[in-house]
Amino acid sequence: MEEVNCAAQEIRTLPDLCNQILHLRSTVLSDSSVMVMHRKLRVLQRSSFYLEVRLDEGPAAEGQQPLGTAVSSLTDKRRLQRAMALGRTQVTLLLTVMGQLYQVITRSCRELEAFIMKYKQGLVDSDMAASMQQKIQQTWQHVHDFDTRLTRNCGPLNLQNQLASNTGNLHTLQLSALVSFKMPVIFDRVKSSVLSNGVHLFWEVACVSSQELYQMFEIHIESCHPTTADNAKLIYACQSYDLQLSLLEPDRNYKFSVIRVNAVNLLYGLWMDSIILKTLDISK
């Protein structure tokens, strides 16, 4: 009698379980939602992460600007280096966990779909149903972790020692360190154009609608035709979001790369956007 009741309970539970899966696949695990996760991960992997040091004055300090170069005269150098190392570890952990979460989520999508197929074929038993119920709960948690991981990992560092140098002053400044990030810089491939002896390059910051102030960029230029072996690289630094170059050779391929100017507080920033453009052939 007990086995009959369990079987009846299983029959009632399976349709509800399938409805949960279908709801999951049509909302947070829809194809478009998973694509958004992939874009978010890719942008994050290409972003630049920095250590910011701020003057800690309690609630009133919220939203204030970092101290910038003035920090060098206020911080203990060894403690600052330890904070930099801790920040790099935190960024590395963030990127690793985000990548792993994305892989787990996409694998869960395949497992959920496989369960639905087995259910339609009548191949699901109680053990499979129990395992899938646990998988659904875990998947919801993984999606939540993916959405909130950046917020949890980019923020104040848990430092064992104060960053400020000990000057013997009873009112020694209290400094705090936090991890911040900036979106990657990418070329505008539509606006960028070529002439016979030059190019006009345009770039922007990904996912940012307005141009950031006081940003310095580097443009790396390298001739790719006929070979790069004997060609020196040129580097231009500028504060604008476009650069017009002349004195290039006609009918030649050039590789252009854009990156933010390296900063002393950079924790992680390995990626630069590159494009290859060919100057016009004046003989045609």
pTM: 0.81
- Cα 113 to Cα 30: distance, rounded to the nearest angstrom: 12
Write down the residue that tokens 């909130």 correspond to.
148
Q: Which amino acid, 15?
A: P
**Residue 158: pLDDT band with limits 50, 70, 90:** confident
Is the pLDDT score of 45 beyond 90? yes
Give per-residue pLDDT as tens, 24-37: 999 999 999 999 99
DSSP line for 50-62: EEEEEE-BTBTTT
Could you state, in order of their start, the residue ranges of all structural domains in the chain? 2-179, 184-278
CATH of domain 184-278: 2.60.40.10
**Residue 221: pLDDT band with limits 50, 70, 90:** very high
> Closest by alpha carbon to 193, among 180, 184, 185, 202?
202
> Closest by alpha carbon to 48, among 185, 237, 240, 186?
185
Q: Is 270 left (phi over 0), alpha (psi -120 to 50) or beta?
A: alpha
The residue among 8 and 20 whose pLDDT is bigger is 20
Give me the pLDDT at residue 36, please: 96
148 CB burial (10 A radius; 0-12, 13-18, 19+):
exposed
Pairing of β 217-223 and β 234-238: antiparallel
Tokens of 118: 């087995």
Give me the pLDDT at residue 165, please: 64
